[in-house]
Amino acid sequence: MNVLETRDLHHDFSGLKVLFGVNLQVREGERHAVIGPNGAGKTTLFNTITGTYHPSGGDVFYKEKKITGYKPHELVRIGIGRSFQITSTFTRLTAFENIRLAILSKHGIRFNLFRNVNKMKEVTEETEAMLERVNLIGERDIPAGMLSYGKSRALEISMAMATDPELVLLDEFAAGMSRDETHNAVELIRKMTTGKTVVIIEHDMDVVFSLADKITVLHYGKILATGTPDEIRRNPDVKDAYLGDLEV
Ligand SMILES: Nc1ncnc2c1ncn2[C@@H]1O[C@H](COP(=O)(O)OP(=O)(O)O)[C@@H](O)[C@H]1O
Ligand SMILES: [Mg+2]
For ligand 2, the distance from its centroid to the CA atom of residue 201, given in whole angstroms, is 8
With H, G, I as helix, E, B as strand and everything else as coil, classify residue 184: helix
Q: From the CA of 218, give the closest atom in ligand 1.
A: 22
pLDDT in tens, 53-81: 999 999 999 999 999 999 888 898 899 98
By residue range, what is the domain housing residue 40? 2-243
In a domain, 184, yes or no: yes
In a domain, 224, yes or no: yes
pLDDT of residue 169: 94
Q: From the CA of 85, give the closest atom in ligand 1.
A: 21
CB 26 within 8 A of CB 3: yes
- CATH of residue 14's domain is 3.40.50.300
Q: Residues with beta carbon inside 6 Å of ligand 1? A: 13, 16, 18, 36, 38-44
For ligand 1, the distance from its centroid to the CA atom of residue 170, given in whole angstroms, is 17
In a domain, 124, yes or no: yes
For ligand 2, the distance from its centroid to the CA atom of residue 110, given in whole angstroms, is 31
In a domain, 248, yes or no: no
In a domain, 17, yes or no: yes
Domain count, the chain: 1
pLDDT in tens, 8-52: 999 999 999 999 999 999 999 999 999 999 999 999 999 999 999
In a domain, 154, yes or no: yes
Q: Whose alpha carbon is nearest atom 27 of ligand 1?
A: 39
For ligand 2, the distance from its centroid to the CA atom of residue 42, given in whole angstroms, is 5
In a domain, 135, yes or no: yes
Q: From the CA of 44, give the closest atom in ligand 1.
A: 17
For ligand 1, the distance from its centroid to the CA atom of residue 9, given in whole angstroms, is 15
In a domain, 110, yes or no: yes
pLDDT for residue 109 is more than 60: no
CA–chain centroid gap for 6, Å, is 16
Question: Hey, which bits of 14-116 come out as E strands?
Answer: 16-22, 25-27, 31-35, 57-62, 65-66, 80-82
Which helix (H) or strand (E) is 224 found in, with range? strand 222-227
pLDDT in tens, 146-203: 999 889 989 998 998 988 899 999 999 888 888 998 999 999 999 999 999 999 999 8
pLDDT of residue 117: 67
